[in-house]
Structures are given as C-alpha cells and as structure tokens.
Structure 1
Amino acid sequence: MNSLALFTRLVTASLSGQARYPGSALMLTFGQFLVTGIEMVAVWALFHRFGDVQGWKIGEVALFFGLVNCMFAIADALGRGFDVLGTTLLRTGDFDRLLLRPRPLALQLMGYDVRVSRLGRLLQGLAVIAFATVQAGIAWTPASVAMALFALAGGIALFLGILVVQGTLSFWTIESLEIANVLTYGGVEAAQYPMALYARWFRYVLTFAVPLACVAYYPVLAILGKADPLGAPAWLGLVSPLAGFVFLAAALGAWRVGVRHYTSTGS
C-alpha cells in the first residue's frame, strides 16, 4: 500500500469511528461553529462601535478572520496526532507501535485522529469570507481565487508545522502543550487582524519567527488590491505564502531529530 492509500485508510477509519456516535459528532461540530462565531460577533461589535480601526473596515478584517480560521481548521484536523503525542502516545507507549510500521511516522500521525468537529470552524470561516465579500465588495477573479488558495495552502502548512514543533518538544518535555498553544490559538487570534495594528517588534515576530503575516496579511492585501500601510511592495503577497512551506520543512527536520533521540518508555 502506498503512502496516499494508507493515509486515506487511516482517515476513513478515524471518521468511521466518530460516525458511530453521530449525535456527539454533530454537537462538537456545532460547538466549534458557535465558538468561532462568537469571536466574529466580538469583532463586528468593535467595528460597529468605532466604524473603522486605522482605516481598516469590517469587511477587510473579516477576510483575515475567515481565511485564517479556514487554515487552522484544516491544519488542526490533520495535526491531531502531533497534538496528543506528548499527552497520550508517548505516555502510554503507543508511539512504539507506530515506529514498528514501515511507513512515515508523520503520515501516520496526520491520519491518526482526524476530527470531524473541525468542520465547524471551517464552515464558520467560509461563512465569514462570504460576509467579507459582501461588505468589502470583493470581486473574486481567477487570479484572486488562486491567490486565496495559495495562501490557504501556505497557512495550512504553517499551522501544521507549529503542531509538528509541539510534537517534537514532547520528546524532551511533557509540558509542551501550553507553549504550543501560544503559537496555535494565539497565532490564530493575532493573524485575524492586520499586522499594521501591532507594534513593530511584534510584527517582526509574526513575519520572521512564526511567519503568520506571510500567509495571511500580505496575501489578503493582494486580494483586496490594498496598498500596505507599512510600505511592503505589492508583489510580496504573491510569494509570501511560500514561507509556510519553509516553516513546515524546518519543523519536519526538527521532528526527525526528535525521533532519533526517542528512547521509548522502558516498559
């Protein structure tokens, strides 16, 4: 069985297990939809009160919000295995079982526990993008759709890379989850707003350390046809999502180092 077929089988098995309890899966999905929906209501309330923030309108910010939540929803569904590596697989010794299989470990973990509930956040993100389209008057051309899909792919790679880093840290510490949450959930919150609103040092962090600006801010500027208040060239948004793939490649390199240092449970 090749890698793609194996991944498909793992995902199918994970979804089939959740389908045995459809009520639970539906409530969890609806819960995800409501949580992100409440966050968007808070953003709407802010702009409804003040009209705009430093020249940014609600429709423009909604595009950031929707696109980033779509990125994270897909990455979170695929990266669940890395998310629970330290809290479940390493502590129980189940990770050793994965090591015995002649298939890539990263592939096995990506198909380990694909949660259907993440569909709630994805649907919410798509709904907010539709809202942004109406509010900002976005004309979706083939070029802008391609730009959005490119940004989406780069963002998925970036957030998946963050989850891989979280799993890698689990080889040395059992308390890596909260550290990674700063980058995952905290990163989602930060990327939902234009980088121009943040202090310079924080913009540097979100551009060069964890390149959230590269997969959200600059591509959205290109889609909106809006000049960057910070002075970045217009072409930057066309190539910046590549930073997400670079981050993922670096994370997988660190992952391989962590696996080589893994010494099992001893049981």
Structure 2
Amino acid sequence: MMGAMVELLRDRLTKLSPAERAEFVGRFPHAYAAPRPRTLHQLAVRLLAVLRVDAAALTRGEVQLLEAAVALSGQPSGRYGPAVVVRGALESMLGVGSRVSAARIEEVLGRLAARALVLADDDLGVLRIHPAALDLFRAPLGLRSHGAADALPPRHAPLEPGRPAPGLRSAHEGAAAGQAAAATALARLDRLLEAFTEGWPVLKRGGIAVAEVRRLGRLLHVPEDEARLWLHLAAELDLIAASHGRWTTTQTATAWARAEPAARLADLGRALLTLPALPLEVRRRRRAR
C-alpha cells in the first residue's frame, strides 16, 4: 500500500513548480542524503521513508482531522503500513456542511498533504494516511482499539473552524516572497560561479583580498558583508577551491549547477547551518565595538 502513496506523492511533486518543490522538500532535511535521489519517484520514496511526525508542530485542526481519520481507518498501528479511509465517510464524521465547512476540510488536508501525512487519491475517493501518523494516537477519539466492534468511532468528531490568519501579509504573498528569495539565492550563486570560472587570485596567507570581495559584491549587487557570506557558502559546498594560486570553480560546481533547484536549495540550507563562522554576524560585531 505504500506504493500507492509513493505514486500520489510523485504526482504531487510533478505538478509543483521548481520553487514550490524546493519549499516542499525543504521540510524534509534528509531528503537529499547520499545516495541522492535521481528521479521524482526516488525522491517520493525517500520523502516517505524519512518522514517523522512531531505532534507539537501540528495545529489543533490538523491533529483533530488526523485523529478522526485514524479512528475511522480501523488500523491499529503504523507497522501495517499506510491506512485508507473513504473521504466521504470522514467528511460525514466531521459534519461537513453543518458543523464545519468543506473549505476548512480542504485547508487542513492541504496542510497535511504538504507534510506528506495524508494524501488524497481522488480517483478512488479515499485518503491515504502515512504510518507515522497512525502511531500518534494510542486511543483515537477515546477508542480502546481501532475499529473494534464494541468501540466504533463516534458519529461526529471535532474540527475547529478556521480562524483568520494573523500577520501582515496573505499566505499567497508569503509564498511568493519565499519563492522569490529562493530564486534570488540560487541566481547569486550561479553568478558567483560564472565569475569564478576565470579564476581569482589567492592571498599568500589564503583567502581572498578585500578588494576582490568588494568586486564580487558589485557583481552580485550585494554589500561586501553579504558577498563574503556567498563566498563562504560556495567554499562550504565545495563549489570553489584554491588551486595553483587561483580561486576557481570545481568539478562539483559543474554537477551542482545541473541539479534540481530543490536539491540545490537543500544543499544551500545545510551549508548555512554547518558554516564554521557566520561572516555577517562577525562583521556586525566588529562594527559594534
């Protein structure tokens, strides 16, 4: 049954734009660990394999819908694989049309799908629940055992109504801003690699001259401090290296430039977390003294 979830997730990944796919995969830190997936099918398999659920990260509405679905599934635990529930039965249980709106159900299901916890199989009219979600509830909706004849799920289950999202920007604006930032980050690294194909001089003590950092800043249209950050990231990713007195691009850079944007963004995020120093923070502290 996991095969059906793999196909659903692969189809979902196929329909996403590169930026949307990068945002989706970014929720799974180990998605691109070696051996790196080469196809969307392999990526879907990896995502479902590494998926872990932190109940504290779920909203109340997500927990409520999941609990109702798990209770309705009648499946005792995740060790038996994904569970399946008929979507219409779940909507009836949640009181769609009377106690909660269809739009609210769609909203919560969308967020759970973004975590790959629940995927809708529209052709069959069912929802497929990841095994990790099943293990969140020992007694869903108070049941002692899933689907037991003497402990059937209640006719109705709670699902809090939607609330206005706080903040100063809409979800669409937030997503657009995130996509733009991701595209800008990759574009700046691409521009850096293009510049370094000609080779930049290495200082005797290593590193790169301040004047060259400033020149890079002008090429990337960023301040000197930020140019230094991009240099550190490129070196951390092994995209540039010193050889024969020149800083130049590596073989890794050639392969990296051809990789999926989602994979490149994941690499970039990991590099940022593993930098031995934070160039921007260091410079700011010096100025504050």
In the superposition, the TM-score normalised over structure 2's length comes to: 0.23
Q: Which has the higher strand share?
A: 2
Higher RCO by CA contacts (8 Å cutoff, separation 6 or greater)? 1
Q: Which has the higher helix share?
A: 1
Higher CA-based Rg: 2
In the superposition, the TM-score normalised over structure 1's length comes to: 0.24
